Amino acid sequence: MNSFDISILSNGIKVITRKNKNTPRIAVNLFIDSGIKCETKAGMASLAGRLLLQGTRSRNTEEIANELDNNAIEMSIDTKQDYTKVRSVFLNEEFDKAVDILADVTRNSTFEKVEKESIKLKGEIEMDLDSPRVKAFDNLIKNIYPNHPYGNTHTKVLADIPEINRDLLNNFYFSALVPDAMTFAVVGDIDKDSVISTFESKFGNIKTDSRKCITKIPDIIEKNKIVTIEKNDAAQAQIVKGWIVPDMASEDFASIAIFNTILGSSGLSSRLFVELRDKKGLAYHVRSTFDPFKYAGTFSVYIGTAPVNINVALEGFNTEIKKLQEELVSTKELEDAKSNYLGKRAFYHETNAQQAHYLGYYDIMGLGADYDNIVPEKIKKVSENDIREVANKYLSGNSVISILAPEEYLKSL
């Protein structure tokens, strides 16, 4: 991976730059240390992000859309648990225009169309929740994090949307738009000094202010619990089981990532796929997922299966996890999992936009942009014993099981 430079604007905003020669498009990502973790009402981060492109003090929605389209500038906003990201990708010659629009939408948005955007968001969420799988995961996450914003799922957003107004969104967004909460990542065929000069003129006068976002570590899961959703017309039972695991900065991060690859995230070769789908024929789709955040992480296993197989599927989860807790994986399986993980990771670093994402992402998560180069080395060092240790350390504790199925099949749980 190419090297990068870190510069600091006069007000303290960090700008990470990487020069990739002879590439036609530049990527600029602004990461704001905010996101879902700072919400006082579920949905605030999503609504604020959506409204950034819906009008500023000098451009209306149509003018923003036309300028982006006429200059072949891609711009999107993504809100996650720990940050809001404003992404812009454009041809090299459109740098000044793209940064001008970026500055306008991030600094001058008016948030006037709250009601209209709330209606659209509500409709999209309701469509998502038509999926039984989405509904089961929603039920899992809000019960894993019942007293933390990480648990602000679709159903919580629907409940809170009526209470969100323009003043709340304005305060939520601009209280986070302060220099010590902002990181830019710029990747492309760029001149660093020119980039810094432009950013200084557009963002260097943002004032430092006291932040109002108070974050905390989520509570532990106090006891095992099963939460169910009755859906009598469901042809499949949706079963997902989850645990709280360490955050992004944990020394066990790499081991959990490879454990996840072995258990269920590597597709056809993963243990859950082979044992529960191929050998037992329980389902077409079965997998595990590891979602590391800034203050915690979630590990989950999922299967969609015939309702009559609910208990068999849960037993299958337990059996495959127990094997990894009691038996060392083979060297070949471990090395195959590492190759799988590192291969996917390399694929996700091919474009300037992807590289800008990871440089900014690791920095805003508190690990530093250089962590992007450190991750592969951590992955390579994971041992057979590390896999067994994390399986016992984190998947022996309390969990939440979310099941969506017809009522008659839930009675036996």
- pLDDT tens figures, 254-278: 999 999 999 999 888 899 999 999 8
Give 151's pLDDT tier (boundaries 50, 70, 90). Answer: very high
Please report the pLDDT score of residue 268 as a whole number.
84
Q: Over 333-354, what HEC string results?
A: HHHHHHHHHHHHHHHCCCCHHH
Give the residue carrying structure tokens 């599927």.
Answer: 313
Give 107's pLDDT tier (boundaries 50, 70, 90). Answer: very high
d(CA 229, CA 210): 43
d(CA 356, CA 368): 13
Q: How many CA atoms lie within 13 A of 96 on its CB side?
A: 4
Q: What does the mean pLDDT of the chain come to?
A: 96
Q: Which domains does the chain have, with CATH numbers?
A: 5-203 (3.30.830.10), 225-410 (3.30.830.10)
Judge whether residue 1 has pLDDT over 60: no
Angle (CA) 398-250-352 rounded to 5° is 120
Nearest CA among 365, 376, 400, 391 for reference residue 85:
365
Q: How many residues make up the chain in this entry?
A: 413
Please report the pLDDT score of residue 278 as a whole number.
85
- pLDDT tens figures, 354-390: 999 999 999 999 999 999 999 999 999 999 999 999 9
Which residue intervals of 180-227 are DSSP H helices? 192-203
Q: Which residues contact 272 (CB under 8 A, 6 or more apart)?
A: 263, 264, 286, 287, 288, 301, 303, 316, 317, 320
Q: Is 227 helix (H, G, I), strand (E, B) or coil?
A: strand
Please report the pLDDT score of residue 213 as a whole number.
77
d(CA 12, CA 356): 20
Please report the pLDDT score of residue 413 as a whole number.
79
d(CA 256, CA 251): 10
Please report the pLDDT score of residue 412 as a whole number.
78
Judge whether residue 409 has pLDDT over 60: yes
Q: How many CA atoms lie within 13 A of 134 on its CB side?
A: 11
The strand pairing partners of 62, in sequence order, are none
What is the distance in angstroms between the CA of the first residue and the CA of the last residue of the chain? Answer: 51
Q: Which residues contact 280 (CB under 8 A, 6 or more apart)?
A: 312, 316
Please report the pLDDT score of residue 215 as a whole number.
80
Please report the pLDDT score of residue 209 as a whole number.
77
Strand 400-405 relative to strand 225-230, pairing: parallel
- pLDDT tens figures, 313-345: 999 999 999 999 999 999 999 999 999 999 999
Give the residue carrying structure tokens 């530093």.
Answer: 368
Judge whether residue 60 has pLDDT over 90: yes
Residue 318 is which amino acid?
A: N
In which element (H, E) is residue 402 found? strand 400-405
d(CA 292, CA 298): 6
Give 210's pLDDT tier (boundaries 50, 70, 90). Answer: low
d(CA 112, CA 334): 53
d(CA 206, CA 381): 43
- pLDDT tens figures, 34-59: 999 999 999 999 999 999 999 999 99
